[in-house]
Amino acid sequence: MNMERVLQTLKTLNEFGVSEDGISRLAYSCEEEKAKYYLIEQCTALGMKTRIDPAGNVISRLEGEDDSLPAVAIGSHLDTVYNGGKYDGTLGVVCGLEVIRAFMEEGIKTRHSIELIAFACEESARFNVSTIGSKAMIGDIKKDIFRIKDREGITLKEALKRQNLDEKELEKANRIQSELKSFFELHIEQGMKLIENKKNIGLVTGIAAPLRMGLKITGKSSHSGTTGMKERQDALLAASELSLLIEAAALKESEYETVGTVGTMEVYPGAINVIPGLVKLKVDIRSSNISSRNRVVQALQKGISQMKDNRGVSVQIEWMMEESPVLMDKELLKNNVLICERLGLDYMFLSSGAGHDSMNMSKRWPTSLIFVPSVQGLSHHPDEFTELNDIEKGLSLLMEMTKEQAIVLMKGEKQHGNKSS
Ligand SMILES: [Zn+2]
């Protein structure tokens, strides 16, 4: 493992899309494409077979002893948000590449092939749809997404076409289960838990999925000077009460890391001397524990049912999205614990509040997501940073996971089975 090489590769990839405001390497953009071609160059130079699949995912393969066996895949994404950072996604790809480089350098041969995957369009920043590459890999692409436009009015269909990809071919990115044995992703935490707990490694147990709804709260607008306090049907006060209720209900579920957010609030008519008659809220509730998430929703629904009596307002719910949380593979998780203990790595279990390609991959293949600390919890920000020491620890775990899953045959004279030195 060569940390200087890791940093150098990270640096080179981050020259694509860099400006003084951060890194903008948006999904299916020229910058992302250049980064992909740089990666392809590196993989080809290592003698790996490399292809871009119909969804724009880069898949590079280091042949194992028995090519008929399913491959062990490692990956993450190269695209960023607008003015993003250097580590989100890119670090996982670079670490995957380093595993392969180190294997080749040390003469490590494995029974299973190893694949490095750089997923296309993980971030929803450009088209409001996230993880398109990994969704395509499990055949989970909705037909209506191709007409979605970015800020410049370019449709997803057109953006794909500019990369010589055809939306009609996208379904061919769907891979059958027997092609892969397992999938690993190393990613920055994008939160504060590892830093707060002074741990180097986060073993992700599950990925939270959002439930989103719109609330339309209808009261009665009237004059702020002439309407007495007891006569009011103030939609904003009802909205505030519901917002606080979401906070309290989610706080009660903190052992499950459940979170609830009111992200937008529109107030009508929106005048200083008029009691708000209509308020629209958008609510996002997430957890990797579905029962816990449901309890927050039930508490909210109970609060809503009392609004008529308490404040004389009516509340309509518009269900926008309800995704199921996913759990990471338990066997791999157990294995990761053993590896961490063997290597003396300071780890903790946590769940991920943000979505990742691992979320889709886990629906078809045993998947393991590992987190390394984000300084100040910063992410989707130019100042995103992870200490080299933490990268090294994450990488050593990733390396061992790959050795075990891909099954090391020989290293020099020594015979390795499931255990490695
Ligand atoms: Zn990411």
pLDDT value at residue 282? 93
Between CA 206 and CA 200 the distance in angstroms is 18
CA distances from 303 to 73, 280, 310, 336 (A): 46, 16, 10, 43
How many angstroms is it from 325 CA to the middle of ligand 1?
A: 17
How many angstroms is it from 135 CA to the middle of ligand 1?
A: 14
User: What is the location of CATH 3.40.630.10 in the chain?
Assistant: 3-208+325-411
How many angstroms is it from 242 CA to the middle of ligand 1?
A: 32
Contact between residue 287 and residue 207 where contact means Cβ atoms under 8 Å apart: no
How many angstroms is it from 294 CA to the middle of ligand 1?
A: 27
How many angstroms is it from 127 CA to the middle of ligand 1?
A: 15
Nearest to 160 by CA among 282, 302, 57, 254: 57
Helix/strand number for the chain, H first, E second: 12, 18
How many angstroms is it from 285 CA to the middle of ligand 1?
A: 20
How many angstroms is it from 64 CA to the middle of ligand 1?
A: 28
How many angstroms is it from 186 CA to the middle of ligand 1?
A: 10
How many angstroms is it from 89 CA to the middle of ligand 1?
A: 4
How many angstroms is it from 88 CA to the middle of ligand 1?
A: 5
How many angstroms is it from 356 CA to the middle of ligand 1?
A: 6
Instruction: Count CB atoms within 10 A of the CB of residue 228.
Output: 6
- The residues near 113 (Cβ < 8 Å, ≥ 6 apart) are 61, 62, 63, 64, 67, 69, 71, 72, 406
Fold for 210-322, please state it: Alpha-Beta Plaits (3.30.70)
How many angstroms is it from 205 CA to the middle of ligand 1?
A: 17
How many angstroms is it from 352 CA to the middle of ligand 1?
A: 11
Between CA 379 and CA 359 the distance in angstroms is 19
Between CA 83 and CA 383 the distance in angstroms is 10
CATH class of 3-208+325-411: alpha beta
Contact between residue 405 and residue 112 where contact means Cβ atoms under 8 Å apart: yes
pLDDT value at residue 143? 86
How many angstroms is it from 147 CA to the middle of ligand 1?
A: 24
pLDDT value at residue 410? 66
How many angstroms is it from 19 CA to the middle of ligand 1?
A: 20
CA distances from 339 to 111, 194, 279, 419, 420 (A): 20, 18, 52, 10, 10
pTM value? 0.85
DSSP-assigned letter for residue 60 = E
Q: What is the mean pLDDT of each run of 10 residues along the chain (421 residues)?
A: 96 95 94 97 96 97 94 97 94 98 94 97 89 96 90 94 94 97 97 95 93 95 95 97 98 94 95 97 93 96 95 94 90 97 96 92 97 91 93 97 92 46 41
How many angstroms is it from 403 CA to the middle of ligand 1?
A: 24
How many angstroms is it from 130 CA to the middle of ligand 1?
A: 10
How many angstroms is it from 380 CA to the middle of ligand 1?
A: 9
How many angstroms is it from 120 CA to the middle of ligand 1?
A: 11
Residues with a beta carbon under 5 angstroms from ion ligand 1:
88-89
Q: Cis omega (within 30 of 0) on the bond before 269?
A: yes
User: What is the location of CATH 3.30.70.360 in the chain?
Assistant: 210-322
Between CA 268 and CA 264 the distance in angstroms is 13
How many angstroms is it from 99 CA to the middle of ligand 1?
A: 19
Angle at CA of residue 264, ends 221 and 234, nearest 5°: 20
Between CA 75 and CA 183 the distance in angstroms is 8
